[in-house]
Each structure stands twice: as structure tokens, then as C-alpha cells.
Structure 1
């Protein structure tokens, strides 16, 4: 079944091409390099990056900010109204552990807001696509289906997504402030946001470091599915006065702490 948005269909195709590049390396012995921040960089990151950039340039003349080409000055970036935000391989640690929980992320950002996003998990052959104002979909071996975030209901157990690689002690403090029982669901990469978008979890509080390319695509999916993504103040765990998480509004590409909620 075709997606109702032609551009989203094109971006899904590009994400899958990048995923094919990643999977061609996944089952081999791959080389691990080191970035300046000491996180692992694999051959798959670079192969996926080259594929995405080349293909995006065929369908759009918008600028591209990718984790693997992030050395664009703030003076240049602050002039961008619309641009592509890319993480060619999110969850590099999950890739190295070979647990399948890694993704290709491509987002379209418009005036600081994600408006279209594709998250593709190649090892799971599962895609998540969101177009704000049009809807969100999951595409897997069973086919294509619409997804929507599901609010917590009184008496239900809170299902809260946590990072598999970056557990934060502040998470337990936040969980203690929720009314009722809680269940922590571990997941890697941007798939954490997608669990809220599909209704498999109610909350994803992120109380650890992330960069904008880590979240942009799945943020769009979450918004399109009816969830919210807001800046998180640990002293206000229910985010009653929170601002939306935004992009390209400052020189640093690091995100503040945030909360994904249905």
C-alpha cells in the first residue's frame, strides 16, 4: 500500500537503501573507528550516510545536516528554514552488540519543527513513517498499518520506555512520582520514541544526552501519531508547563532533557 504522501514514500525508499548498506556489513566483521566523543563509528555509518546524502540530493535541494557531516557552522545553519536532519545509523552500540535495535533516521525540519520523519530498523525489517497533519504508519512483514499514541488510563500500569545503553538514575526518581504501578520497557536507538507512537508505551523520559539527529525523525513520527515531545524539567515530571522540543535554534546540536508522552 502506498503512503498518502509522495515525499514520505521517497524518503522511505532512501532509508531502506541505506538500511541495505548497513545490513551488508552487519553480518560481517566490521571495523570500529573512534569519533572525537569516543563513541564507536562503523563502516556502516559511513556507507549509509553516503547513500542518504546522494539520494536526498536527487529529490530535494534543501540542505542536509547529518551526524556524519555535522561540521556546518552555526552562522550557516541559522539561516536554514527547512532542512533534512539525518542519523544514518542511530544506535551504533546496539549495532555492535548485534541486537537489531538500530535505525536509519531521516527527518524534514521546518522552522524548528519536525514535519516528516522516517525511522527504519533494517534488522527488524520495520519502518515507522510520520507526516504531521496526515498521520503515522508502521510498515513491516505484516503490511502497512496506521499507528496512534495511546494515553494512560486510570488503573493501568504505566509503561515507560528506558534506554538499554544509557540508563539514568534519575529515571527511578521520576517513576516514583507517577500515580500507580510502572513497568520499564528497555529499547535502543530512536525506537524508544516509536514505542510511544505505536501505543506500546505511555512515556519516554530522556534524562541523558542526545543530539538533534538522534530524535528528529522519530519525533515527527510521534507527533504525527498524536504524542507530544516536550522539554523536561525533572522537578515537573508531568510537564505541565513544558515547551515543545525544537531544532536548530542554537549553536549546539545537543538536546535538552525531554519527555515523549501520549
Structure 2
């Protein structure tokens, strides 16, 4: 299957997961907590099941790593060259707060790099989709626009998107390099997408994230033309170590 057809299939699958999520979102739902104290809801599980079933039917040869089925040992994972990286609901805290800023994330990782991704925000009726062979796009209703990052100088007012639920004590020190900063609070992987569409100039993440939180948004931002790197400028890669945790990273459209 070519990337164009595959991307459309993944977009439809993300929307199908969103259709499972929204009736649960609209009512009272069960909340449980994992060992790391992160919340999980009935909607996370429902979306996970839909996505795994769909991906298995679509690409039975590819393994799947989802936040809700992450107990895959490193000796197994390190043999993977391509795999699906899934967060059925990114921004579960935003989901619980019912502010709409949560997403369904599905990314295709190839040799440590996201080469295709869909970020779908069902409560906002907006989707971001990208594949290396065809580009990055934002879709709202029937309208689909291509995303091409315009780079800007590292001067003047800098729009910085940051986490609504995970403020980082390291962020203030990082932002001292800029003369004029305007903060844009946003939940979930929508932060990466805001840089991709030019609504934010930079997203420095100086706090903990897991690979499934960022893979799909990373694909959208990078394919649109933003830089996605670790703090030291080296690439942000996936499935290169036993831990699922990302290092600190920066998504930017600023030039040095």
C-alpha cells in the first residue's frame, strides 16, 4: 500500500477511535490510575481496541506499541525496524477536565524515525496528518490545507506553546534566552501541531513524555518543516533504548 492510501486509512481509523471516545466523553466515565499515577479511562481502552484491531487488519506484518499494551520487552522491540506507535488518548487529563484538548495519536516509525502520523482531536473536529512522501496537512470539516512551516528569526516576540497540565520548572530558565515571550497553553500533542501550522514558534518540552505521546505529532511537525530535536540539537529518535521515556526536546520554526 502506498503512503497516500495508508495515510487515508489511518486517518479513518483515528476517526473511528474518536467515534468510540466521544459518547464516553459526553457522560460520567470510570477513571483508574496506573502504577505511575497516570489516569486511564474507559475511553482509552475502547479506543485502544479499535485501533489495534484496525492496524492488525491493515498491516498484519507490523508490530504495534500502544500506551495501553506497552509491556513488550526490549529484546523483542529492538528487533523492530518498522512498527506502529499509538496513544489511544493523549491528554487524558484534558479529557477528564473536558476541555477538548485531547487527541488520538497513530504514528508509523521506521528505523527510529516517524515517517507517517495522524493526530485527531475528536472534540475539536480537527485532524493533522502527514506522510514523508506527500506532506503534512490540517483537516477541519471538509477543508484540508497543506502545512508548510515558514521559518522566522530568533528575535522579537516569540510565541511559545506549553503544556496546560504539566508545567516544567526548567522552562522559565530556558525561555530567558528570548526578549519577549508570549505563552500559549495547550494540551496533548496539539502542541507539536501548533508549531507545524505556524500558530506557535517553539515548543520546548522540558519535562517527562513517553514516545507514544509524541510520535504522531513529531511526524506532522517534522514533515511540515519544523525542527524536532533533543535539547543538544541531536535527533529525537524512537525505540532506541529500553525506556519509553523521551529526553527533553524542542520543536521549533525559529532560525538561529
Aligned pairs (5 A) from 1:179-190: 180-190=179-189
Aligned pairs (5 A) from 1:1-262: 5-61=4-60, 62-141=62-141, 143-153=143-153, 156-178=156-178, 180-233=179-232, 242-262=233-253
TM-score, normalized by length of structure 2? 0.95
Taking a change above 3 Å as real, the CA distance of residues 113 and 157 of structure 1, as seen in their structure-2 partners, is same
Work out whether residues 208 and 245 of structure 2, in 8 Å CA contact, stay in contact via their aligned partners in 1. Answer: yes
**Secondary structure class of the residue paired with 1:87:** strand
Give the whole-Å Cα distance in 1 for the aligned partners of 2:70 and 2:50.
16
Work out whether residues 3 and 133 of structure 2, in 8 Å CA contact, stay in contact via their aligned partners in 1. Answer: no
- Of residues 10-19 and 155-164 in structure 1, the stretch that sits farther from structure 2 once superposed is 155-164
Q: Deviations over 1:33-59 (max 9, x none)?
A: 111111111000000000000000111
Q: 1:238 corresponds to which residue?
A: none
Q: Deviations over 1:100-124 (max 9, x none)?
A: 0000000000000000000000000
Give the whole-Å Cα distance in 2 for the aligned partners of 1:104 and 1:226.
22
Give the whole-Å Cα distance in 1 for the aligned partners of 2:177 and 2:107.
33
Work out whether residues 150 and 202 of structure 1, in 8 Å CA contact, stay in contact via their aligned partners in 2. Answer: no
Gaps of 5+ in 1: 234-241
Q: Deviations over 1:56-103 (max 9, x none)?
A: 011102000000000000010000000000000000000000000000
Give the whole-Å Cα distance in 1 for the aligned partners of 2:32 and 2:22.
18
TM-score, normalized by length of structure 1? 0.93
How big is the shift at 1:232?
A: 1.1
How big is the shift at 1:134?
A: 2.0
**Secondary structure class of the residue paired with 1:216:** helix
**Secondary structure class of the residue paired with 2:11:** helix
Give the whole-Å Cα distance in 2 for the aligned partners of 1:207 and 1:31.
31
**Secondary structure class of the residue paired with 1:229:** strand
CA RMSD, Structure 1 to Structure 2 (Å): 1.4
Q: 1:236 corresponds to which residue?
A: none
Taking a change above 3 Å as real, the CA distance of residues 154 and 162 of structure 1, as seen in their structure-2 partners, is closer
Give the whole-Å Cα distance in 1 for the aligned partners of 2:107 and 2:147.
18
**Secondary structure class of the residue paired with 2:170:** helix
Gaps of 5+ in 2: none
Taking a change above 3 Å as real, the CA distance of residues 253 and 4 of structure 1, as seen in their structure-2 partners, is closer
Work out whether residues 133 and 224 of structure 1, in 8 Å CA contact, stay in contact via their aligned partners in 2. Answer: no
Give the whole-Å Cα distance in 2 for the aligned partners of 1:122 and 1:150.
27
Give the whole-Å Cα distance in 1 for the aligned partners of 2:109 and 2:53.
19
Give the whole-Å Cα distance in 2 for the aligned partners of 1:99 and 1:231.
29
